[in-house]
Amino acid sequence: MLIPIVVGAPFLLIGLSEVNKVAQLERSWVSTRGTVVDNMTVAFASGASYAPVVDFRTLNGEVVRFADGVGSIPPDYEVGTEVTVLYDPDDVHSARVASWKRL
């Protein structure tokens, strides 16, 4: 009975830490809508994946384009898909697609 607790406790703590980080990010970053304009091919040693390239407009009207840091096979989003974007108002190029997988 003690072994599952000892083995599982670190994973629980890591998970709670990640939930806390995402909650802080969602409170301090701005949420807006963006549009997937491309799927960029990301090559790595064992193959390739596709990361969405997204355009969004900041609160002051600036149009920003960014490539999300998480790729997938096949692409998660088709070109033209609207997505929720979170961005740091002090560094708009640090934007991320707001999804469970990507945060």
Q: What are the pLDDT digits (tens) for 65-75?
A: 999 988 888 99
Tokens of 47: 């193959």
Question: What distance in Å separates the CA atoms of residue 70 and residue 68, rounded to the nearest whole number?
Answer: 6
pLDDT above 70 coverage of the chain, percent: 77
Prior bond of 74 cis (ω within 30°): yes
Could you tell me which residue, 88 or 102, shows the higher pLDDT? 88
Cβ 51 vs Cβ 38: under 8 Å: no
Q: Is the pLDDT of residue 20 over 70?
A: no
User: What is the pairing mode between strands 30-44 and 47-57?
Assistant: antiparallel
